[in-house]
Amino acid sequence: MTDAHEDHWAAPVANTPLDAAVRVPGSKSITNRAYVLAALASAPTRVRVPLDSRDTRLMLGALATLGARSEQTADGFLVHPLGPAGGRVDEATVTMGNAGTVARFTPALAALGSAAVRFDGDEAIRRRPIGPLLTALRRLGARIDDEGRGAPPFTVHGEGGLRGGKVDLDSSASSQFLSALLLAGPAFDQGITVRLVGDAPPSEPHIAMTLDMLRRFGATVEREGSEFHVAPSKLSCPEYVVEPDLSTAAPFAAAAVVAGGTVRVQGWPKYTTQPGDWLRSLLPALGAKVTLDDSGLTVTGGSVIPGVELDLHEVGELTPVIAAMLCFAEGPSAISGVAHLRGHETDRLTALATELSGLGAGVTETGDGLRITPAPLHGGVFRTYDDHRLVMAAAVLGLRVPGVRVENPGTVGKTFPEFTGTWDGLAG
């Protein structure tokens, strides 16, 4: 229930074991990749059952600004290509909000047009890393003015196309730098060859998702270890059906582990590149029984959650929900490999340590993760720092802790505008 006087949501307690089935909306990562690839295609793409949320509206808005218009259909959007001129010809501004996918994936598209396009967004996006991507785009021929900041706001001066070719890239702060170059690669004169330098990028499944979706749109893509090649080519995909978002499904699957009983997530794909699919391996280690069949993923919580040590480098966006779950373990846990979360919507390691500790848990930050020592929890305000996944983490905690009041719940609209209502229904 949302408090009408203050912007807080009273996260519901599950007083009895759960018995629920939920359907979550489309994947943010797949939706926004489909929109970008559709803009680069040579014919319109019908994107079916996409996510409709702040991040995906920002992506459609950015693409419209760059010259690729879209029309709403009965079950999604028909996205038109940027057009023969490569898109925009007069000055414009792209609003990125706090969407990493918009901030990282669309500047290369502006370089294909013939206008000066300014990029800016929420205060938070100005702090998120993007410098190595801007440097790589410049080396590939783009003219970008950021007044030396290496961060938004910046202006891309489109010159009607991009040479492309070979480039070294440090993508250790975000896998989205690499995905951005690969997604736009088919439209570059020479295609693109990226050689990764520095530490390995996080979020490997999101890189696999980029390669898989490029292929579905007809691109020729090769990977040899840390070198990637995308040939110049015309793209086309008349229809793209988006999978449910498995990272959005994570708190619902976690609910069965924390509150006991059973939760079925409908429409869970049998094969997917989404990082959330890793929950099928994790949840049994947390005492749950997990089955995947035609009806979806069914999770039944066990009686005890063991403490665990987890390296979440590849699945970092699951960290807030996993950290909340581990507050109910019978022993201490450690999460590592996620230093890059300090550059997400907020510094998620500091935010989680502060808010989970604020409700009684023993959570401390390490350089690249969290140490979680379970302790008796109590109610109170859980601040969310404009981070949708902190709302989801707080909801998981609230299932067993009366009196958790979640600040600014509307921020969850980044990826799931109907989250609180769906969650209230789950907990009965």
Ligand X SMILES: C=C(OP(=O)(O)O)C(=O)O
Q: Which residue's structure tokens are 């801007």?
A: 134
Of 33 and 88, which CB lies nearer to ligand X in the complex structure?
A: 33
Which partner in ligand X, ligand S3P, none is near 99 (CB below 5 to 8 A by kind)? ligand X
Do 88 and 118 meet the contact criterion of CB atoms below 8 Å apart? no
Identify the CA nearest to 182 among candidates 230, 136, 122, 235: 230
Task: Write out the binding residues for ligand X, residues 282-341 only, by CB under 6 A.
Answer: 317
Q: Which of 243, 317, 345, 355 is catalytic?
A: 317
Short-list 155, 44, 162, 152, CA closest to 99: 152
* Site residues (CB under 6 A) for ligand S3P, limited to 6-65: 29
Residue 117 is a binding residue for ligand X (CB under 6 A): no
Cβ distance 233 to 220 under 8 Å? yes
Q: Of 310, 263, 308, 257, which Cα lies nearest the Cα of 287?
A: 257
Q: Answer yes or no whether residue 342 interacts with ligand X by CB under 6 A.
A: no
From the list ligand X, ligand S3P, none, partner contacted by residue 206 (C-beta under 5 to 8 A by kind): ligand S3P
Contact set for ligand S3P, span 85-104 (CB under 6 A): 100-101
Write the burial class of residue 368 (CB in 10 Å: 0-12 exposed, 13-18 middle, 19+ buried). Answer: middle
- Shortest CB 107 distance to ligand X, Å: 15
Residue 163 annotated in ligand binding: no
Binding residue per annotation — 174? yes
The one-character DSSP state at 297 is E
The residue among 79 and 377 lying less far from ligand S3P, judged by its C-beta, is 79
Binding partner at 44 among ligand S3P, ligand X, none, C-beta below 5 to 8 Å by kind = none
The partner residues of 167 in beta bridges, in order of sequence, read 194
Q: Does the annotation flag 414 for ligand binding? A: yes
Q: Is 174 in the site for ligand S3P (CB under 6 A)?
A: yes
Q: Is 243 a catalytic residue?
A: no
Is 223 annotated in some ligand binding site? no
Interface pick for ligand S3P out of 203, 298, 300, 384 (rule CB under 6 A): 203
Q: Is 303 exposed, middle or buried (0-12, 13-18, 19+ CB in 10 A)?
A: exposed
Closest approach of Cβ 100 to ligand X, in Å? 2
Q: How many helices (H) and strands (E) does the chain have?
A: 14, 24
Q: How far is the CB of 344 from ligand X (least distance, A)?
A: 4
What number of chain residues touch ligand S3P (CB under 6 A)? 13
Closest to 247 in 3D by CA, of 264, 216, 261, 268 = 268
Cβ burial, residue 367 (10 Å; 0-12/13-18/19+):
exposed
Walk across the sheet containing 18-22 and list its strands. 18-22, 261-265, 296-300, 289-293
Q: Does 202 bind ligand S3P (CB under 6 A)?
A: yes
193 binds ligand S3P (CB under 6 A): no
116 DSSP assignment? E
Region from 34-42, 96-104, 165-173, 214-222 binding ligand X, contact rule CB under 6 A: 96-104
Element (H, E) at 370: strand 369-373
Left if phi > 0, otherwise alpha if psi is -120 to 50, otherwise beta: which for 21? beta
- The sheet carrying 70-73 orders its strands as 70-73, 76-79, 45-48, 239-241
Residue 121, binding choice from ligand X, ligand S3P, none, Cβ under 5 to 8 Å by partner class: none
Pick the stretch among 56-64, 90-98, 134-142, 172-180 that binds ligand S3P (CB under 6 A).
172-180
Q: Which helix (H) or strand (E) holds 148?
A: none
Partner whose binding site includes residue 40, from ligand S3P, ligand X, none (CB under 5 to 8 Å by kind): none
Region near ligand S3P per CB under 6 A, out of 12-20, 78-86, 201-209, 325-333: 201-209
Q: Binding residue per annotation — 234?
A: no
Provide the annotated binding site for 3-phosphoshikimate.
28-29, 33, 174-176, 203, 317, 344
List binding-site positions: 28-29, 33, 100, 128, 174-176, 203, 317, 344, 348, 389, 414
What residue ranges bind ligand X (CB under 6 A)? 99-101, 317, 344, 389
Annotated binding site for phosphoenolpyruvate: 28, 100, 128, 176, 348, 389, 414
- Please list the active-site residues: 317
